[in-house]
Chains A and B, each alone.
Chain A
Amino acid sequence: MRRFFTPELDVDPDMIVKCSNCSTCRWTCTSYEEFHSEAYFAGGRLRLLRSYVEKKLPIDDSFVRAVYACSTCEQCVERCPIKVPYVRIIEDVRKKLVQEGKGPYGKLHVMGDMAFQHNNVYGEDPLKRGDWVKPDTKISDDSEWGYFVGCTASYKRPEIADATLRMLNYFGIEPQILGADEYCCCSPLIRTGQCTRPIYEELEDGDKELLGNLDVEKFILHNVEEIEKRGIEHLVFSCSGCYRTTTLDWPKYYRERYGILPFSLQHLTQFLALKIKKGELEWKSGYPERVTYHDPCHLGRHVGVFEAPREVLRSIPDMEFVEMERNRENSVCCGAGGGFKAGFGENAVNVAERRLNQALDTGATTIVSSCVFCKLNFLDAVKKRNVNIKVLNIEDLFISLMGLG
């Protein structure tokens, strides 16, 4: 097939011509709802991409902005009659923009710089990655269970890491954690196209010095080796982003050369749902409130885990569980994913605020999710916009109802 794409934007032509521009994916799109412009939804971006390529237009800032103002939530792929693999395409475009030095957008490069220097995207001290572990909780160095904590829970929302560990301890599991040996799972890097990128240091005289090359494959291989070395067979996640990346992205980098991942993966909601199915969980108290569940895009649409968290919530005594109008496959994104929060902070909070209002429309007093990022963004919206709703993750509920908190 003749490739008619410019070297600047080399994406698979067979993929891109699939889009019919029918705009079915428009009004449900996270970024369209925020920006109300046709450059800001999947079909519009593909139209843009095609125009830039066919007309050989030079890449400008407005194109880069449009490409990055997407939370990669996959609501569009779900709606698309033709199932155009938009998120794959846009991630490729982002990769290309980074390679060409035109991306990532705004300050998103800081995540890559930090990951390169500190193994986490927040630039925190890598040696303090495991500092959240409290003395009354238990970890071990020989369990076949491991807990992959992720950068955000390790440094920004340690209460999530703590709650998850307490939950595992409750079931008699003293998991291994990798601590300083746990590197970023690479979700924020892959989503923003920073798979490989030269990293420079700005010198005082304004010059730049090359520090080395950021390469997500190295991070992934390191993590897999560390997990394998410790004999971990079952890896549990509290972060949906980490879980999605480990499930769908790691194998891409790992499998070709090394075969299948040498351990099993489960999200904590799947872990809990299994415990309930086996009759191993008896709630110690109820939650007498009206509760709704927000599907994290990475856990729901991306990996297909919709029912496990609902099974957990439905099993809680006294709880009145209600669905929001848009749920499961049609769930609305919270606005935190795909580098959207890092690149478009206030817009991401607007998106979260709208989702919280949808939760309030059901009469719910609590919105429960199962993703570190969703919780972070929802809490920002609660704080900045005074939305009157409680925001919890499933592990928070678990430890509070089981008297472990």
Chain B
Amino acid sequence: MSETEQIAKLSEVSWISDLMSERLSASGDTTGIPYYHFRWKKKWLADYVAWPKTNEQVSSILKYASKKKIPIVARGGGTCYYGSASPTRGGIVVDTKSMDCILDINKDEGWVRVGAGAVWEILDNELAKQGFTTPVKPQSGVASTLAGWLSIGGKAGIGTPKYGSMVDNVFEMEVVRPDGTIETVAGDEMLPFFGTVGIAGVVTSIKMKIIPVPETTEGLMFAFQDLERAIDAVNRLSKTKTPPIYLRLTDLEYEWRIQGGLPPETTGLFFVLVTYSGETAEVEESLKTARGIFEVAKGMEMQKSYYEKNWDDRFIVEMKLKLEVPTLSMQNFWIPLDHIGPIVKRMYKIASKYRINSCFYLVLGRPNKARLCVFAPSDHRNWMHFMSGKSMLHKLVKTMYRGGGELYTFGLQNTVYIKRYQKNDYKRFKEIRNKWDPDGLMNPDKLTRCNMSYTRLNLMFTMNGYFRRLQVVLRRAKNILQIPVSYQEAMSR
């Protein structure tokens, strides 16, 4: 079959497969226990997997699918949470990772045109050979793709406090509309593709900003006894003249789980890591300012080697939490820095009430707004414990909406919340869907429709909360992981 020829029968196309192993492997994502979410999906298994290499091939699949009314799910690295890149009504999974070549590069104007399925790390390795790098990237950059991050909004990661979101770094994109039309979009025309999980079409190539590899990259890490002071430091650091490229706030349990404990002679319950890059003199100046801010907030400087260990682990920290537990439930929020305190405090309170583990980490997106990830490490084979973690996350979502903020990633499971709480976004997503994909074939059941009702969900988690409390009262609620002693003492104070 030639590239532009219409697809008559999927099974005759060499780059499309219906083998069970291919369908299964392309139907999952980072969701820890796929079967827990089966009830959210009508058909969790893809019927076909396609590996197009060009936009013409993408176009031919989309034309075929729109004619035959077959659902399409674009798939990048599959690292997104909440079933974003997994099918809900079968159909064709379009694996974009074979569209990953550098198509053009202009070092004078500072841009690269690259296949949208390029993995960040591979792209950065290639750019580095020419002395360049991408200004922003997610912490899943070792596996995720450019279009994958773009499609979930790409707001907080490495580089974002200084260079902005993904949307600020893309000049132009080539896309295939749900009806198979190939188009080049720029400016506001690109917006329907940011954070909309592929409902407006499949992105096939991106022209994005590149910057010279910075002269120096250095940072600091400080420990705090007090959450308010740590947040205050983060707040101030986010507003400095030269913003950091990475700013992270974590708690003790998080550090404990990912690094196996703190360095000797370090105490603290909250930890702020800040990294700057640029010209050496500028970085030195920024570090001086940061140290001043930390000292005013009464932070305690941590060993350089501990900072370096954390910085080196920046692409794997989120997953390192799984070192000790088989199941990692998490929720992530996109919230103003001022609203973090109440959520974190509520998290500790509920976790202690339910006798479960919990921890958080926060990464600054842009001044005053951050991605807050709240984790409930568990083992789904201990069902009550696992569900209690989920209940806690549900309660925190409600707390978050009361205080102001939104969810960071929507995907499948969080669509239920946007429908209820983010009414304007829900309306916008519906408009995009109606305009570009009136048949609802592109990534169905995401953003605009949900198989689970909020009332049912709320009832389930509320009931679960009551049962767990009962277990605790009857002394039958065992925790999965030990909690660091100093932490327990401080939290109970």
Q: Which residues of A contact B (CB under 8 A)?
A: 1-2, 4, 14, 17-18, 20-24, 26-27, 36-39, 44-45, 47-48, 50-52, 54-55, 57, 60, 62-63, 65-66, 79, 81-83
Contact = CB atoms under 8 A, between A and B. Distances in A.
Given A51-B34, A81-B320, A82-B320, A17 B25 contact: no
Contacts of A79: 142
Interface string B296-325: 000000000000000001011111101100
Nearest to B19: A62
Interface residues of B, number: 44
B356 to A, nearest CB: 18
Nearest to B28: A47
A23 B245 CA distance: 25
A48 B24 contact: yes
A39 B19 CA distance: 10
A22 B319 contact: yes
Interface in B88-128: 95, 97-98, 119, 121-122
Q: Nearest 10 pairs between A and B by C-beta?
A: A81-B316, A17-B326, A23-B143, A62-B21, A39-B25, A38-B25, A62-B19, A44-B25, A39-B21, A81-B319
Contact of B381 (A1, A50, A55, A65): A1
Most buried by A among B27, B34, B318, B327: B34
Contact of B143 (A1, A22, A39, A51): A22
B143 A26 contact: yes
Contacts of B24: 39, 47-48, 51-52
Given A24-B315, A47-B25, A63 B20 contact: yes
B140 interface: yes
B328 A27 contact: no
Contact of A21 (B30, B35, B144): B30
Contact of A22 (B79, B119, B313): B79
A63 B143 CA distance: 23
Given A17-B327, A21-B29, A55-B35, 12 more contacts: A2-B381, A4-B381, A20-B328, A21-B31, A22-B316, A23-B79, A27-B119, A27-B143, A38-B25, A51-B34, A60-B20, A81-B317
B142 A24 contact: yes
Contacts of A17: 32, 326-327
B322 A38 contact: no
B22 A37 contact: yes
Contacts, number: 105
Nearest to B129: A325
A62 B121 contact: no
B198 interface: no
B348 interface: no
B34 to A, nearest CB: 7
Contacts of B143: 22-24, 26-27
Interface in B1-50: 17, 19-22, 24-32, 34-35, 49
B316 A62 contact: no
Contacts of B79: 22-23
B51 interface: yes
B444 interface: no
Most buried by B among A18, A23, A47, A55: A23
A83 B323 CA distance: 8
Given A62-B20, A82-B320, A51 B28 contact: yes
22 contacts: A4-B381, A18-B322, A18-B326, A21-B30, A22-B79, A22-B319, A23-B144, A24-B142, A27-B119, A27-B121, A27-B122, A27-B143, A36-B51, A39-B21, A39-B24, A48-B21, A60-B20, A66-B25, A81-B313, A81-B322, A81-B323, A83-B323
A318 B454 CA distance: 74
B465 interface: no
Contacts of A51: 24, 27-28, 34
A178 to B, nearest CB: 42
B135 interface: no
A144 B51 CA distance: 58
Interface in B371-388: 381
Most buried by A among B34, B319, B320: B319
Most buried by A among B24, B32, B318: B24
Contact of B20 (A2, A27, A57): A57
Contacts of A45: 25
B42 to A, nearest CB: 16
A45 B25 CA distance: 7
